[in-house]
Amino acid sequence: MSETKVLLDLVQRELDGFCATRKTEFTGISEDLSVLLDYTKELLAGGKRFRALFCYWAWVAALDVSNTQQDSATRALSTEAMVGICSALEMFHGAALVHDDLLDQSDTRRGVPAVHKRFESMHKQHGWAGNPERFGQAGSVLVGDLMLAWSSEIFGNALLKSPNSQIESACRDEFSKMRIEVMAGQYLDVLEENAAPTRAVEEAVGRANRVILYKTAKYSIEAPLLIGAAFAGADPAVLRGLSAFGIPLGMAFQLRDDILGVFGDPAVTGKPAGDDLREGKRTVLVGLTRESLTPTVGKIFDELLTHRELDAEQIAFLQQTIKGSGALAKTESMIEELANESLLALDQLQLDPTAMMQLRELAVRVINRQS
C-alpha cells in the first residue's frame, strides 16, 4: 500500500473516531444532537484530501533539510501528530464548506443537498413550527461553528506531540493565520457579490484575484504546505520557497474551480450546470467578461447575475457571453501561467526527492481536475 493511501486511511480513521466519540458525548445530552455529528461525519467522508496531502508531503520534504534531529521514537510520535494535523485541516475545510454553501445559497455539495438544505428538509418533514429556511440556516451555522472548534481541538491535541516548543508555536501561528485569512477572504467574496455593480468594472479582476488569494489559495495550498514544513522545523528559506510554490498553485486551483462552476459537467462536479452564475459569483472569469462588454450588454449581464432563479436559456446566454468575450480562453491562459510559475518554484527547492515528486503530482492533479 502506498504511503499516500496509508495516510488517507489514517486520516479517515482519525476523523471517524473523533466523530464517534463526540456523538457519544452529544447523545448523552440529547438524542436530538446526533444529527449534528451525522452530517459532520458524512461531509468528512468525501473530498480529495488535497490539504492533508500537501501538508504531509511538505513535512516529509522539509524533514530532509531540517536541523531538528529526530530519532526513531520521535519520528514515530511526529508521524502520529501529522495524522492529527492533517485531520484538523480536513475538519477546517469541512467547516468552510458548510459556511460557504450557506453564504452562497448553494443547494448541493458533492451531488447531495448542502447541510443547510438538509436541516430545512428535516424541518419540513416533521412539520415543525417556524420557518424551515431559517431553521436550515441556523443549523448549518452551528454545524460549521462546531467543526471550526473541533478542528482547533484536533490540531491542539496533535501539537502536544511536537518535537519541541518552537515547532509547536510556529505551527500554531500558521494555523491561526490561515483561519483569519479565510474569514477575511470570505467577507470580501460576499461583499463583491453585492457591491460589484456599484464599483469600477476595470478593477473587477483585481478584486476577484484578492478574493481568490485570501479565500482559497492560501488556505487550500499555501497554509497546509507551511504547517507541514513548520512541523518539520523548516527554516525561513524553505518556507519562502514553499509559499512561492503554493500561492500561484492555489490561484490556479480556484481559477479552475471558477471554470467548472460555469461550464463543469454536473455528473462530475456534483453541482448544477452554471451554479456559480445562479449564485452571482464575481469571479475572475466574470470580471474578464465584464471588461469586454458594451455598457448595454454589461448591464444585462449584471442584472442576470443578481437573479438566483436563472432558467436554462439565461444560463446558456451567460455562458455564451463569457465564451464569446474571450474570458474563458484568458482564464485558461492564466491557469497555465500560474501553473508554470508554481512548478518552477518547486523545482528550485532542494528537498527530499520522493516528497518533491509527490508534490509535483499533486500540483498537476490540482491544475487538471474536473470536479
d(CA 230, CA 99): 28
pTM metric for this prediction: 0.95
Contact, 98 vs 140, CB < 8 A? yes
Contact, 284 vs 334, CB < 8 A? yes
- What is the arithmetic mean of pLDDT over 263-289? 90
Position 72 scores a pLDDT of: 80
> In terms of C-beta density within 10 A (0-12 exposed, 13-18 middle, 19 or more buried), how is residue 341 classed?
middle
For 188-207, what is each residue's pLDDT tens digit?
999 999 999 899 999 999 99
Position 1 scores a pLDDT of: 65
Q: What are the chain's domains?
A: 1-46+69-163 (1.10.600.10), 164-371 (1.10.600.10)
For 80-92, what is each residue's pLDDT tens digit?
999 999 999 999 9
At 313, which amino acid appears?
E
- What is the arithmetic mean of pLDDT over 278-292? 94
- What is the arithmetic mean of pLDDT over 332-342? 98
Contact, 5 vs 53, CB < 8 A? no
